[in-house]
Structure 1
Amino acid sequence: MEEKDNQLPHFDNKEDREIWEDILNNPVKSLTPEKENHFFENLYRKIDTYERKKKLRRLRIYSTVAATIMLAIAGLIGYNATFKPDVYLAKLQNSEIKLADGSVVILAQGGKLTVEKSFPADTRDVFLEGNAVFHVAKSKEHPFIVHGKGYETKVLGTVFKVTQDGKTFNVDLYEGKVMVYQQGRSKEPIVLKPQQTFSNLGIPQVASVTQTVDKKSAPIKDKSAAFTFDKCPISDVVKVIEKTYGITLHYPEDLENAKITLSLPNATAEALIQSLAIQLNLNIKQKNDSIFELEK
């Protein structure tokens, strides 16, 4: 009897339990119509109650899942609207971008500009990949900073162009004044005036400032340029001099590992070669207008 009790449904009604016991103990015995009706009414009612509870439980689960999804979507939308930076791409052609402070950026084809949601804040920071021309709205209180590959260009209001190609970083200034910083270095910035160009000429240890010229025009040896070399290999120094002034410069092979630290604010080719010769304790021999030699 104890084994059969474990198989009985757990009805609270004592009469229902007695009916089940009657069926199990007397399987061939017929129920009275009254008991049969009462039993099935209770059974259907309990099944209906169970199904209602199951549907309600399922509805609660679905409601919870739906609410969670809606909260996640709302959170994502809120993040994108409040925190996620604005990213501008110039895929197939140049793109004109108007920033919240009134500045205008002409992003060159293939370029990418990232602007934080906080723009404009105490500093107006933008992050550039590729090339762009900036027409910066003037603000003495809020510097405009362009973060490039290894360099930062800081202005208060001006027109300038940033060109990045591999390791080469250039800034052409058309109006106003800008300051160029090399990221990770504590040295003083390079200050540009209108119609000047900053370039590292593809060498991180080099900083040059020259007059902005037409790229098609050939460099001339008597033009002036400002240079800073910071522990730069002599081979790179010579490449910079040759590229800037359109000349050829030879030096002793045993100086291949020499490092040059030199800063000149305004130098012609001859003045720069002279400073280099003094630092290396060498003599200058000029073969013609475009070929120079450093010798012992």
Structure 2
Amino acid sequence: MDSNHINKEFEDLWHKSHPKKAAEKKEAAWEKFNQEVFKEKKVQKTPNYKYAIAASLLILIGVSGLLPYLSHETSTSTPLLAETNIIKNPTTSLKLVYLPDSSQIDLAPQAEISYAKEFKQNRKVHLKGEAFFNVTKDKEHPFQVDYKQTTTTVLGTSFRISSPVKNKTQVDLYEGSIQMNVEGSAKNWLIAPGESFIAEDDQVKIIAFNLFKEFKNAPLHELINYIETNYQYKVEFQSEKIDKNITLKIKKRESLDHVIQVLAQVYNLDYHIDHQQKRITFQS
């Protein structure tokens, strides 16, 4: 039975059950009845591909528009990682280096340091080779040196980091205090002046050393040799005084200026220090 015939029978049934309705009311009522009984299946609308394509194009345009900004972020992030100051000492003598916080480093021959551009906020130095550090105090920003498997942390002090043999790290403390850490160990070691921290082959030991250098009635040329060897400055002294003996006790790694002042006072001499030429001249 087709749908037209079914509709006709329902229409006849409706008219028989509603004989007194006016023609115009019948038509309206029938229309309502027909909609309720024969609810049409909703037709799935065909997607509007024009709008879909337009939306896709907008997305593509948006992404392509962001590409310059994304590439800009990438290009700026790379230099940030690369914004590291590297200082090398390719010479055969010590190189004096001043850091942005006024800390001083005597960089040994063939040694190298690197540190972040924003050093005052992140006082961390990576060291290759050997160096002597004279660190400016800053309680809010501890000073750290990464060297091989060790980290040296200080507030303000003087110390030397060296590697006498392969796989051996030695830190000699002359002034202040330092904390030592070894990679892979949760233990901290606190070092006092006159102590050496030695890490070698997964073993750690702390030994004492003499903080002072003594000259007991020694020929003056011994002190001059000591200055030239440890400070890498050439000393010119009057020949008539060179053979005189001297008795003197100074701190190892004492500042060069202080050593020269003491020597000038002992012999009542004037002096001139040429830091560029690394030359010291004593004269009457």
Same fold, judged at TM 0.5 (above): no
User: TM-score under structure 1 normalisation?
Assistant: 0.43
User: TM-score under structure 2 normalisation?
Assistant: 0.45
The structure having more radius of gyration, on CA atoms, is 2
